[in-house]
Amino acid sequence: MNFAIHVGLFSATNSGLWFVHNLQKADWPWAISVTGGWALVVLAHAIYHFAIADYSPLTKDSG
């Protein structure tokens, strides 16, 4: 999954989740866990994308 798509899905889904949560004055204890858990996954994806992954161009061997 592309990192930008992952961040976009996270933002849109959690925005909707918390909008409905506040609109309905709902008592959803799981909403915090969903947002926090998904935020950790996005953070791990960011660490992989920006710190670990090697996006240097491939070179052909001269042999």
3-state SS assignment for residue 55: coil
53 in a structural domain: no
Reported as a pLDDT band with limits 50, 70 and 90, residue 17 is: very high
Confidence at residue 5, expressed as pLDDT on a 0 to 100 scale: 96
* CA dist., res. 8 & res. 42, Å (int): 10
Confidence at residue 55, expressed as pLDDT on a 0 to 100 scale: 79
Confidence at residue 62, expressed as pLDDT on a 0 to 100 scale: 54
8 in a structural domain: yes
58 in a structural domain: no
Q: Is the pLDDT of residue 27 over 80?
A: yes
22 in a structural domain: yes
Pairwise pLDDT comparison (56 vs 42), residue with the higher score: 42
Query: Max alpha carbon distance in the chain (Å)?
Result: 67
Domain that holds residue 26: 3-44
12 in a structural domain: yes
19 in a structural domain: yes
Mutual angle of helices 3-23 and 30-47, in 10-degree steps: 160
Q: How many domains does the chain have?
A: 1
- pLDDT above 70: percentage of residues in the chain: 95
18 in a structural domain: yes
20 in a structural domain: yes
50-55, long-range: CB < 8 A, 24+ apart: none
Distance of CA 52 to the CA centre of its chain: 17
